Structure 1
Amino acid sequence: MLKLLVMMLVSSAVYASDLPNKKYLDLNTIKIMVAAAEAKAKDLNVSVTICVVDESGNLLFLEKGETASLNTIQFAQKKARHAAFYGSPSKDGADAIKKGNVEVLAFPEFFPNQGGLPVKIDGQTLGGISASGAKSEIDEQVAQAGLDALTKK
């Protein structure tokens, strides 16, 4: 009986090599995205807060532009979390409200304001990047520059 139990345990063992590989946003990747977003903000002559979160919305990076208002700290985080949670731009949230779909306001981490984009690699959402402090479409351009830097990496 003991021999059978040992054989069952050995045959059902999980090896580290059998575990799925999960991609994530490492520090180097975050630095690449942020540098590109900062450069875009500078080119556009705007001062914005830049935020990067992981797929669960946990804060990985936050930098407030020198002249960006204090409320951009919260807005940037909300935009990035929306993008990470829903795997879609935070602009989609704004569009839903414009269409009269107000029940979405009850969704967790929902934020209806343009400027947050999901960070996706091979179809997997790894997090979100956002900017806040300029017009919403400019905020999104800054965040998009951060994403574009990943494809040039």
Structure 2
Amino acid sequence: MNSKAVLSQAEVGQIIKAARAEAQANQWAVTIVVVDDGGHPLALERLDGCAPSSAYIATEKARTSALGRRESKSYEDMVNSGRYAFLSAPVLTSLEGGVPIVFDGQVIGAIGVSGVKPEQDAQVAKAGAQCLE
């Protein structure tokens, strides 16, 4: 039988804290969502001044990254490269800002961020995802 790490609330708190610090250092109002490896929400934090719709978008970015085992940007890149069939794929969003959380070579969850430019969302998400390394 295989075994793998799972995110506890302690790690989820660390991830949120690292992502929040990155967003606040840049004065970006974002929503940060952490999900488990099945895409189920473990935590959501919407910073002051962030649009309510970002909570939905950040969740879908995280879920897409967890289920796809890759950054959500890769799906956006596929569509932008002309693979329009991916618009009907069972991923939930093809927007940049979802990043898998990898531990010991396995995806154990993901983080999604929404509220600023796509590359800024990804920057915040990566700060959170990489804090456990």
TM-score interval for Structure 1 and Structure 2 normalised by the shorter chain: over 0.9
Write the mapping of 1:40-119 to structure 2, written as runs, cut at 5 A. Answer: 40-119=22-101
- Ranges in structure 1 where 5+ consecutive residues have no aligned partner: 1-18
Q: Does 1:150 align with 2:126?
A: no
Query: Quick check: which has more Rg, 1 or 2?
Result: 1
* Bigger relative contact order (CA 8 A; separation at least 6): 2
Residues in 2 aligned to 1:150 and 1:52: alpha-carbon distance in whole angstroms: 13
Which runs of at least 4 in structure 1 moved beyond 4 Å after TM superposition? none
Cα distance, 1:23 vs structure 2? 1.2
Residues in 2 aligned to 1:129 and 1:105: alpha-carbon distance in whole angstroms: 22
Task: Provide the identity percentage.
Answer: 35
3-state DSSP class of the match of 2:24? helix
More helix, by proportion: 1
Check conservation: 1:104, 1:110, Cα contact below 8 A.
no
Check conservation: 1:93, 1:110, Cα contact below 8 A.
no
Q: Indicate the larger mover: 105-114 or 82-91.
A: 105-114
**Aligned residue-pair number:** 133
Check conservation: 2:6, 2:108, Cα contact below 8 A.
yes
Q: Indicate the larger mover: 102-111 or 40-49.
A: 102-111
RMSD over aligned Cα, in angstroms? 1.1
Residues in 2 aligned to 1:111 and 1:147: alpha-carbon distance in whole angstroms: 19
Cα distance, 1:84 vs structure 2? 0.3
Check conservation: 1:34, 1:146, Cα contact below 8 A.
yes
Residues in 2 aligned to 1:88 and 1:40: alpha-carbon distance in whole angstroms: 21
Q: Indicate the larger mover: 32-41 or 21-30.
A: 21-30
3-state DSSP class of the match of 1:52? strand
Match for residue 4 of structure 2? 22
Q: TM-score, normalised by structure 1?
A: 0.83
Q: TM-score, normalised by structure 2?
A: 0.95
Cα distance, 1:130 vs structure 2? 1.4
Q: 1:83 is matched by which residue type in structure 2?
A: S
- Ranges in structure 2 where 5+ consecutive residues have no aligned partner: none
